[in-house]
Chain A
Amino acid sequence: MKERYRLKDHFIELRIFHNRSIIAIFFTLILFILLISRLFFLQINNHEHFTTLSQNNRVSVQAIPPTRGLIYDRNGIILAENLPSYTLQIIPEQTTDIDKLLRELSQLINIRDIDIQKFKKEVRRKRRFEGISLRFRLTDKEVAIISVNLHKLPGVKIQAQLSRYYPFGEETSHVVGYVGRINEKELKSLSPTNYSGTNHTGKLGIEKSYETQLHGSVGFQKVETNVKGRVLRVLERQNPLPGNDITLNLDINLQKIATRAFANKRGALVAIEPATGHILAMLSMPNYNANLFVNGIDVKTYKALNGSWERPLYNRTVLGSYPPGSTIKPFMALAGLELNIINHQHQIFCPGYYRLKGKSHKYRDWKKWGHGKTDITKSIVQSCDVFYYDLAVQLGIGKMHDFMSLFGFGQKSGIDILGERRGLMPSKKWKRETRNQAWYPGETVIAGIGQGYVLVTPLQLALATATLANGGTYFQPQLVRSIKQKSDTEELLVTPKVQRKISISQQANWDHVYKSMTDVIHSPRGTARRLNKPGLRYKIAGKTGTAQVFSVAQDAKYNEDELEEHLKDHALFMAFAPVDNPKIAIAIVVENGGHGGSVAAPIAGQVIEYYLSQFSDEALKIKNTEIVHQGKQKHG
């Protein structure tokens, strides 16, 4: 080690500093020479090249939007496609007076005020050399008129584009959703580069939740243009990467049959394949035509749709929360058996009402004079309320809440479209937290027949039915079956996702419930016996339900004819078939429809009949042992 200087040596310090200063001067000169030579290169050597670019010819960069991925149903029928259409665009940089140009254009073809408003908004956010759309979907005649006058209209061009089209715009509106023009809010979250050539983005349904898959990646070309903006040559081109195609589990024919069966009733239907959690049909009625939204819906039509009391824009399958009514009873019976609250021989006497110990309030059965002696099967087949009032009190709200939660009541299902509601399965804790009130025993009583606080979405009810049908495997419901990348030949299958497996204490308990539900259709006193048509190749298990919208006073009588339409009961029905080998599980809500058995069940009957007609006798009989378990079977 060299000895360190104890004292500051000013002479050495100064010498070091002067050396460094000389280096600094050299450094400065080198950087200046570097800059000057770079500028010499640009301004003197390549002056002509840049002058050409700057004056006569301008280089512009054009974004090439990717083609949006297509959407198919499970059988390969197309649900969303891209059709060619002509768009009128204006390039601000090439115009002299935009307002004058707009006036001239509106004398030639029909341009609405709203088009001009939207156009002016776009002008502010796009670059001056980019084409901005003024009118979409020009007719052939309009294209001809503009083309003839093009020389008088500097900066105007007609762009052939692909426009989204939904062949089943009404049937699939709530599921597939639609694309629409990008708005200010969406602009902030979308990548400005990737969307620089794109005018549309998914707004709803699959189109929205799978936007990143469907959109693809932007391409660009650097082009040399002359003063008038005509492209002279393409200097460089990078092709866009088209969006991925998506195949749904949905069966569009089934969806159409279901839509037709609903006719002009309001409500929702969800059909699920119990072995996989795949969504076979999903509709909310009334629906609307998704094609209206693609290129901007006009205010009047939108107001009519949005303001309608029938609420066609509202997706009831995931947003509608309804009391499940009697459809909760099979789950209640199963809870009683599995938790050893009741045994298979359990019976009660139903006098037509139920009273809590020491209270005078009468909880009435729908059958005023009562069902008499009632066992489990009879309680489901004839939908005895008193049986379940009693069972609910024996179970208590805590056990009820826990057991129902296993089937997904009160929980989001995780379906692959956005914005589902979670429904509600009440508990003491919930009431304390949200309302800061104690739980009253009477609330347990009515929860036993799916009234009171209990709320489900049609999707939840269908999923619970599927879980019951497949023996306790709770899936995450999936609309998308597979995603096909354009660059890849292989399709990426979406694996069914098991969320949980309910542990079974005794198979006999489940079989007892299955048998009772089968009798709802196949016994002479069942509430849905009208589905038992002669020559049926399979057995259906189901349960009707009627959910009260309007509560009747203690001593009054519910009179259907006197009630206003919107106060009538909701009709519900849940079912699966075939009983031994479930291929389809279904849940239906018909708003203000009255009775489940007479209104909702026939719709389910048609859907089940159509769907199972695709299977041979063999296929219906063979017990489906191939319930897919997580990790056991892998796709893709």
Chain B
Amino acid sequence: MSEGASSAPATAETTGHHEPAGFPPFKTETYPSQLFWLTISFVLLFIVVWRIALPRIGGALTARKGQIDGDLGAAEKHRREAADASAAYDAALAAAKARAHGLADENRKRLNAEVDAAKAKAEAEAQAGMQAAEARIAQTRNAARAHVAQAAQDAAAAIVQQLTGDNVSADEARAAVASVSGS
């Protein structure tokens, strides 16, 4: 315990080996060596900084700045191109839509017209068929009517002959039937 306390000053004195003691920074005999090596190292560092380090770091900085500026420019260019392409796409889409709309419209009109024409034709055909049928019916009716008159005429002539035994001419029979049927 006491050894440690007493040994500290002792070592300070023994290792201090003071040459006439003094403040080290003011020992002028060290100045030539200090200035000599200071000059060498400072000049060396100056040359390294001036010739190598600063151009190198400056070069790295400008290269990076150039690359970043270039990349930003390229990005801006691509962005503009993309915007242009998008606008062109929109325009093309709008044009295509308009054209499709036109085509659809035209188609619809054409189809409508065709349908209408077909309908009209079918109606006309039906009408014609109906008229023909009516004509035929009327004709058949007239024919039937004519047959009925003939049959009545023949029947009247036959009845008269049976009852009276007289021959009745066709004209008489026709006149008689006509007077009875009232036509």
Instruction: State yes or no: do A and B come from one complex.
Output: no
B residues within 8 Å of A by Cβ?
A: none
